[in-house]
Amino acid sequence: MPAISLDQEKLTDDQLKTLDDMWRRCVRRIILSTTLAGSGHPGGSMSSLHLLLMLYSTLRHRPHDPGWTERDRLIVSMGHISPGVYAVLCEFGYIAEDAMLLEFRRAGSSFAGHVETCVPGVEWNTGNLGQGLSAATGMALALRLRQRDARVAALMGDGEQQKGQVSEARRFAWKYKLSNLLGIVDRNRLQIGGDTQTVMPQRIRDEYAASGWNVISVEDGHDYREIFDALRRVHRRDVPDPARPSVIVARTVMGKGISFMENNAHYHGCALTEDEAERAFAELGMENALASFQEKRRHHRLFQSAYCPAIPYPEIHEGSPREYGADVRIDNRSAYGAALEDLARLNNTGDTPKILGFSCDLEGSVKMKGFHKVSPDAFFEAGIQEHHTATVSGAVSREGFAVFFSTFGVFGVSEVYNQHRLNDINGSQLKLVCTHLGLDVGEDGQTHQCIDYIGLLQNLYHFSIFIPADPNQTDRIVRHAAQHPGNCFVGMGRSKTPVLTDRDGVPLYGGDYRFRPGRADWVRRGSDGAILAYGPMVAIALEAQRLLEEEDGLKVAVVNCASIKPLDEDAVIEAAGTGLILTVEDHHVETGLGARVAGVLADRAVSCRLVRLGVKHYGHSGAPRELYRMEGLDAPAILDAFRKAHAAVRSGK
């Protein structure tokens, strides 16, 4: 299937000639596309071009069937070399040259400044450096789990080797013996700021070797024969330890092929001017077609449609929910762990598991031990390497698995927000289940108290946010999350949570209850005002509601907003009908539910008194109940706030 077999001993003259011809056409496309757009990254594109051509020539792939499940994958981590990638994809028949040249960097087209998967042949949207190796690791893991013998290659820049996440990815690939993973570093020794060793000294080969990788040097990354030999060595397992991943570090020249561009960092991120392009084409002995393409580009309006293959998701059986009786006292974490274990038992029965689990040295605290025990091959302990873990779990989640990544909220959300963002852009379907949210973390103190998870994750367009209020609801939400595609955050605190019941003492989230995104639950009805809460605050709100009824004779509604995103806007409006809404949350008061409720009221032009209770300072280190008291989030404080607001509403103030 590949154009050139790595079983050959060496490249034939014909193949070399063909590669040379391809190279010339590709350089032309790189120069044309960037100069036409007036921006882009020609220098790195040309530095990587021989590597790209050799990779696409030797990898197994089917341009007419870009999603072929047995294909080898190429992830281009430095997404800014998009002109080079598109140029080569033209060569292999993935895309039409005209589309690339006329649409590059134009709003609404697929040919973005950084590679995106809407172009067939692109496997992962990149652009934020240092994440590509993690994504490739995820794909290599997925192929391994499916017993496919396809390989994954990650082409990386040398500048981005400075990113810490790369070191995390290296260790993970070493630990899991991902011999089907190949890194290729385009070592042109130039980054935007100039010489890489001046900007930030780094011994790239030593670092890979220290992380247990096989390291192969290519002295001239523009010599097809040398690149071929290196790829062939990996293919033939002619490396120190074939059970480990390998990296090829190829010495290259930025802007290779055009004299005045070579080794000139200026062309990292600058297109050639028209005059420079003229000179470049003259050097290449090519006709300068710039003017005619400029004219065509001006009139080109109907863009090539985006390539949007369906992202697979497994069929998951949810099993029978666990029911926790009214007298049970456990933490939601344990309910999560039990549900996940059930799901594993029920679904991970074939040769390939359907549900995968990732943790960062907190397996016990996040209650994944049961899952690990039932599905040892589907559990991945990724160490204290949250950035890599967020990306690798996100990448695997796009490969037809239901993937759960669990750690504390601070590490799973605040620390790795941008990794989730890039996952979200890539259409990942991650189930991010974080524990130890809020002041409820208690004694571990402010550095560990995640009070911004809504504030952060709400910025990600494709993430749902669910916060169960008790163990029963946790069980249902976890089963729901496992069954449904898409990114989803499920959050919980650390402490034990009472099982919520109706006025008759019957568990609210047992029996026929089914969790539905976008629907809030009226835990208590009342017309004197409504308290909107979620997570551990619902039980505390109920206590305040009881006191208000007993002491003041007030009928106060309590609404559990477990589905924060999507939010039940109709429930908010209905609550506003009481004339008073009190939001209560173990979360930054300005960026959580209260802010969302204010937004809904404003958008719908509904008038209602809103009082927002939440966290107003970084927390202390102490017992959660003490911290809640200090922040005005215990039942007496809620009671007090409600009373004051209710009196103000009644008096028309």
Rounded-to-integer distance, Cα 34 and Cα 22, Å: 18
Closer to its own copies by Cβ: residue 164 or 312: 164
SS3 track for 195-207:
EHHHHCCCCHHHH
Closer to its own copies by Cβ: residue 325 or 364: 364
Radius of gyration of the chain (CA): 28
Closer to its own copies by Cβ: residue 140 or 190: 190
CB 268 to its own copies: min, Å: 10
The DSSP-derived string for 236-264 is TT-SS-TTS-EEEEEE--TTTTSGGGTT-
Q: Residue 554 in 3-state DSSP?
A: coil
CB 232 to its own copies: min, Å: 28
CB 581 to its own copies: min, Å: 9
Structure tokens at 386: 């949250």
Closer to its own copies by Cβ: residue 302 or 503: 302
Closer to its own copies by Cβ: residue 623 or 647: 623
Q: Residue 319 in 3-state DSSP?
A: coil
Q: Residue 412 in 3-state DSSP?
A: helix
Number of H helices, E strands in the chain: 24, 21
Closer to its own copies by Cβ: residue 419 or 474: 419
Closer to its own copies by Cβ: residue 296 or 625: 625
Place of tokens 């202390």: 620
CB 425 to its own copies: min, Å: 6
- Asked if 163 and 130 count as a contact pair (C-beta separation under 8 A), the reply is yes
CB 71 to its own copies: min, Å: 24
CA dihedral 105, 109, 114, 117 (to 10 degrees): -170
CB 54 to its own copies: min, Å: 26
CB 640 to its own copies: min, Å: 17
CB 535 to its own copies: min, Å: 17
Closer to its own copies by Cβ: residue 230 or 572: 572
Nearest to 564 by CA among 469, 475, 641: 469
Closer to its own copies by Cβ: residue 54 or 169: 169
- Asked if 425 and 122 count as a contact pair (C-beta separation under 8 A), the reply is no
Structure tokens at 542: 């109920």
As beta bridge partners, residue 477 has: none
- Asked if 306 and 120 count as a contact pair (C-beta separation under 8 A), the reply is no
Rounded-to-integer distance, Cα 632 and Cα 630, Å: 6
- Asked if 632 and 585 count as a contact pair (C-beta separation under 8 A), the reply is no
* Other CB atoms within 10 A of residue 63 CB: 15
Structure tokens at 251: 């010495």
Closer to its own copies by Cβ: residue 47 or 109: 109
DSSP 287: -
- Dmax over Cα atoms in the chain, in whole Å? 93
CB 495 to its own copies: min, Å: 12
CB 567 to its own copies: min, Å: 10
Rounded-to-integer distance, Cα 33 and Cα 35, Å: 6
Closer to its own copies by Cβ: residue 292 or 418: 418
Closer to its own copies by Cβ: residue 60 or 609: 609
SS3 track for 474-531:
HHHHHHHHHHCCCEEEEECCCCEEECCECCCCCECCCCCCCCCCCCCEEEECCCCCEE
- Asked if 488 and 460 count as a contact pair (C-beta separation under 8 A), the reply is no
CB 231 to its own copies: min, Å: 25
CB 616 to its own copies: min, Å: 8
Rounded-to-integer distance, Cα 624 and Cα 160, Å: 42
CB 566 to its own copies: min, Å: 12
- CA angle 393–384–174, rounded 5-degree value: 70
Structure tokens at 272: 């050639």
Q: Residue 62 in 3-state DSSP?
A: coil
- Asked if 466 and 562 count as a contact pair (C-beta separation under 8 A), the reply is yes
Closer to its own copies by Cβ: residue 145 or 366: 366
Closer to its own copies by Cβ: residue 22 or 169: 169
CB 318 to its own copies: min, Å: 29
Amino acid at 124: W
